[in-house]
A and B are shown apart, each in its own frame.
Chain A
Amino acid sequence: MTVQISFTLNGRPTTVEVEPATLVAELLREQLNLTGTHIGCDTSQCGACVVHLNGLPVKSCTLLAPALDGAPLLTIEGLQGAPGSNQMHPMQEAFREHHGLQCGFCTPGMLMTAIALATEKPDLTEADVRHGLEGNICRCTGYQNIVVSVMAGAAAMNAAKGE
């Protein structure tokens, strides 16, 4: 048995037929070929799969696809800088600038969490960032450059808003 769901995926109206038990992470990766959302665990601990549903960060490995119906979903593939340009999002730029990634596997989830953090609280402190990244594991970077990147990215997002 499948159900039909319609939602906005990275700004585009999308309709798919899914098994009701399909996880959003699987739907994205297997059915929609958006493999930027990664799966790093089976216990909702690692955060590699974070996407934005209704503008809020969620772990797509624990969310069933029918929950998407009618909602906007943003994945790493939908991030962008100035509209109509090839630019990356300021948070992506900040990660590049401050070496906030190594193998890149945790990176999409980190970026989605980071953008949500910076959106929620514009004047992030180091402690806020460290606390806010609790649900995202990175095995490569030792977090230091991720923390620096998130703070720089948040500042850049603020500056962009102010313009």
Chain B
Amino acid sequence: MGEVIGIGAAPKRKEDQRFLTGRGNYVSDIKRPGMTAGVFVRSPHGHAVLRGIDKSAALASPGVMAVLTGDDVKADGLGGLPCGWGISDAKGVPMKEPPFPMLAQGKVRFVGDMVAFVIAETPEQANAGAELLNIDYEVLPSVVGVLEAVRPDAPQLFDDVPNNICCDWELGDKAAVETAFKKAAHVAKLSLVNNRLIGNPMEPRAAIAEYEPGTDRFTLWTTSQFPHVVRFLMGALVLNIPQHKLRVVAPDVGGGFGVKQFHYGEEAVITWAAKRVHRPVKWVASRSEGYVSDRHGRDHVTEAELALDENGKFLAFRVNTLANMGGYLSTFGPNIPTNLYAPLLGGVYTTPAIYCNVKVVFTNTVPVDAYRGAGRPEATFVLERMVDVAASEMGIDRVEIRRRNMIPKEAYPYQTPVLVQYDSGDPMGCLDGALVTADVKNFGVRKAASASKGKFRGLGYSTYVEACGLAPSRFAGRLGARGGLYESATVRVHPTGQVTVMIGTHNHGQGHETTFAQIVSDKLGVAFENVDIVFGDTDRVQFGMGTYGSRSLVVGGAALSKATDKVIAKGKKIASHLLEAAEVDIQFESGKFSVAGTDRMKTFEEIAGAAYVPHNYPLEVLEPGLEEQAYYDPVNFTYPGGCHIAEVEVDPETGTVTLVNYTAVDDVGTVINPMIVEGQLHGGIVQGVGQALFENAVYDEGSGQLLSGSLMDYCMPRADHLPMMKVATHSTLCTHTPMGVKGCGEVGTIGSPAAVINAVVDALSHLGVTHVDMPATPNRIWRLLQNASLPVAAE
């Protein structure tokens, strides 16, 4: 018999056996009888009128079965891709929401926009057929940057979207902010760019669709973070397939980071195509195809101003941002730079007045949507850079200015001026812990050692908060969400006492099969090995909103906890009958139901057995079976946070920035599995370091070509770019989730870009450098040093 493994333990992961032995089951591994291959033909132009497509040569090509285009979509009367959030401007005028056809109609709006789908017996034949498609484009000038896109003479993507502005959105008390600025002793200003990123999960996107005429049912296997949402959006709003006739399966998925949490046109096209050709169809993206079709992240241009009193207390914060949406509105697109950004501009500080204006702008680029952190890294970056700028201008130590403005632990729950109320937190505790772990005390010694080698060393801080566990439906609905944001879990206890859990979140690296099994093992007192977690299949799991925004444990884990409580409650009823005692006298502990104050008891297995073998069972008052379900919709977001400290060394000869030390002390609430939490923190930090030092999606203005369109041109962090990081948790408990959990999936990515760039600026501050845009590549730093035309040190 295996053992009970509870909350706070670090068992090895259940999912590892199959991954380590090459027996994972990813979408690209799946084969179906009679399977055909599909290839998407994508626009090579950033912006063009689609004048016509001649299919004849392609259709005559060997093995080609069908070529589908936007005209076929229209002829079948199918919908476009829906946007999941509808935001409005300050006057309540809704955003401009042009249609997002699943295959381009009339115009293409970014390089990679889907123009046709070619289906053939083999991938080689589909590719050969695709080459023969004759597509007549009338090329138009492209606009890719937000500053350019809002100019009156800029190319217009949509006739009814003047100046390419989707929405002119704002949050906060503009008048109060203006008044505060008038009283300020000092105003610090900063202009910055939050660079465009490409998520690059290592598994490229893929899908297989099949239609079964005997049952009139469709099955779609897809690399998705939220199969139920795909079923809902695609079935109900795009293809008109009744929900019960559509099964969506997301099996093992090789990383998501947000990139796989949208409903993509490829999924709809392939499902529609499977019925048209009456054969299963498979599509697997190449990495290069992913670069021009996976949703991108970030891409802000921001002007910020912080008003301070003479003591360095923040009086007001004003932020104006232009946010790039790309060519169309993706599933969560408009929500990211607005609702997930502006409410976090308070950070961990007591700034009494905040105002933020965001112009959400269309450009001829891949649509932008949520990428790990989504909106919150952008908010943290502008705020934490701003704090450093203000500190240096006012001559206040950077830690000291943070302390002077931090929300003290006792002040929680804390209402910010921008919507959100933090339930718990201890930013000062995280800061104090990080200062010790990072050995900031001896930084001067290390800096001197670097200087003796001709290198500049810098230290950078980021004290941040995020809103996660995305969630409460009611709140989200007020902000424009068109769906709910709860989670569900079913706990099925088998007659022999083993447990299968069906949960609506999706595991693509986060270790759910282990963490959720620990929760059940802990609460029911059953062996860890006797709990299996089922996810990612709409035919097996009741419903669910999937995994993103650090919501799995926070919202899904809470649903699981509630369902488990219901199992215990029913178990008590059964025990009260079997033990002939009053229900109130039944206690449940360590897998045993007992009568209080006696030694009479029944094991969990005995109760499960009785539930399924209901001889001598009071069927009038108690149903057989032991299976319970819960849906959980929280009352608030959760607010993880923490302090990150980065230490870098800059080589002035080459401009190379080396990350030499990294410390993170994060408040993630209750830790269920410390090993998994630590792994999430490592991965998250490195994604943020990637943004700060290496990664950048660069477009060519005018042509709209993506210049960083493969792993050769888009620099991904590799093992030798990084030091050993020191991560720790300093947790306060969430006051409203059942287990006190807050979420940990994104904290690393939210805290790290600002810490790293603050460190780079610190290293170069003696040369008069006050800001460095991301990524701080050798080229950028070297140019900065040349332009500073200051003597480059080195003996």
Contacts and interface: CB of A to CB of B under 8 A. Distances in A.
Interface of A: 29, 33-43, 45-46, 48, 75-77, 79, 88, 92, 95-97, 99, 101-108, 111, 126-127, 129-131, 133-134, 136-147
A130 B718 CA distance: 8
A43 B287 contact: yes
B255 A140 contact: yes
Nearest to B710: A43
B21 A79 contact: yes
A78 B26 CA distance: 19
Given A38-B254, A133-B718, A45 B21 contact: no
The 5 closest A-B pairs by CB, nearest first: A36-B22, A104-B19, A105-B254, A103-B509, A142-B686
A104 B252 CA distance: 9
Contacts of B24: 36, 104-105
Contacts of A102: 255, 509-511, 679, 683
Interface centre among A88, A97, A108, A139, by most B CB within 10 Å? A139
Contacts of A88: 20-21
Contact of A104 (B254, B682, B718, B720): B254
Interface stretch (B201-209, B525-533, B774-782): B201-209
Nearest to A48: B202
A82 to B, nearest CB: 15
B720 A95 contact: no
Contact of A38 (B15, B26, B253, B286): B26
Contacts of A76: 21-22
A80 to B, nearest CB: 9
A10 to B, nearest CB: 11
Contacts of B511: 102
A89 to B, nearest CB: 9
A123 B29 CA distance: 36
22 contacts: A29-B28, A33-B31, A38-B28, A46-B202, A46-B711, A77-B22, A99-B675, A102-B683, A103-B203, A104-B18, A104-B24, A106-B254, A126-B724, A130-B720, A133-B718, A134-B718, A139-B255, A141-B682, A142-B685, A142-B725, A145-B679, A145-B682
B678 to A, nearest CB: 8
B719 A42 contact: no
A105 B679 contact: no
Q: For this complex, into which size category does the number of interface residues on chain B fall?
A: 35 or more
A99 B13 contact: yes
Given A40-B203, A40-B204, A96-B12, A140 B683 contact: yes
A130 B719 contact: yes
Nearest to A42: B286
A107 B23 CA distance: 11
Contacts of A147: 719, 724
Interface in B660-681: 675-676, 678-679
Contacts of B505: none
B76 to A, nearest CB: 32
Contacts of A35: 22, 26, 28-29
Contacts of B203: 38, 40, 103, 105
Contacts of B16: 95-96, 101, 104
A105 B24 CA distance: 8
Nearest to A133: B719
A92 B724 contact: no
B287 A95 contact: no
B711 A43 contact: yes
B21 A138 contact: no
A40 B254 CA distance: 10
A53 B16 CA distance: 26
A136 B202 CA distance: 10
A146 B719 contact: yes
B508 interface: yes
Interface in B11-56: 12-13, 15-24, 26, 28-29, 31
Given A96-B13, A111-B20, A140-B683, 12 more contacts: A36-B21, A38-B254, A40-B254, A48-B202, A96-B17, A99-B675, A103-B509, A105-B201, A137-B716, A142-B685, A143-B682, A146-B719
Contacts of A130: 719-720, 722
B338 interface: no
B200 interface: yes
Given A40-B203, A138-B202, A139-B255, A96 B719 contact: no
Contacts of A106: 202, 254
Interface of B: 12-13, 15-24, 26, 28-29, 31, 200-204, 252-255, 257, 286-288, 508-511, 675-676, 678-679, 682-687, 710-712, 716-720, 722, 724-725, 748
Contacts of B21: 36, 76-77, 79, 88, 92
A102 to B, nearest CB: 4
B685 A103 contact: no
Interface centre among B13, B20, B288, B684, by most A CB within 10 Å? B20
Interface centre among A88, A103, A133, A138, by most B CB within 10 Å? A103
B128 to A, nearest CB: 13
B12 A97 contact: yes
Contacts of A131: 719-720
Given A41-B711, A97-B12, A36 B202 contact: no
Nearest to B748: A142
Nearest to A92: B20
B201 A139 contact: yes
A139 B29 contact: no
Contacts of A43: 287-288, 710-712
B22 to A, nearest CB: 2
Nearest to B200: A139
Contacts of B31: 33
Contact of A103 (B22, B508, B687): B508
B519 to A, nearest CB: 19
Interface centre among B21, B22, B508, B722, by most A CB within 10 Å? B22
Nearest to A102: B509
Contacts of A108: 22
Contacts of A97: 12
A36 to B, nearest CB: 2
A46 to B, nearest CB: 6
Contacts of B711: 41, 43, 45-46, 137
B696 to A, nearest CB: 16
Contacts of B717: 142-143
A104 to B, nearest CB: 3
B22 A37 contact: yes
B40 to A, nearest CB: 15
Contacts of B201: 103, 105, 139
Contacts of A139: 200-202, 255, 257, 683, 687, 716
Contacts of B722: 130, 142-144
A35 B683 CA distance: 25
Nearest to A80: B21
A42 B288 contact: yes
Nearest to B30: A35
Nearest to A37: B22
A36 B254 contact: no
A142 B752 CA distance: 13
Given A96-B12, A101-B20, A139-B200, A42 B287 contact: yes
A12 to B, nearest CB: 16
B719 A41 contact: no
Nearest to A126: B724
A129 to B, nearest CB: 7
B202 A142 contact: no
Contacts of A41: 204, 286-287, 710-711
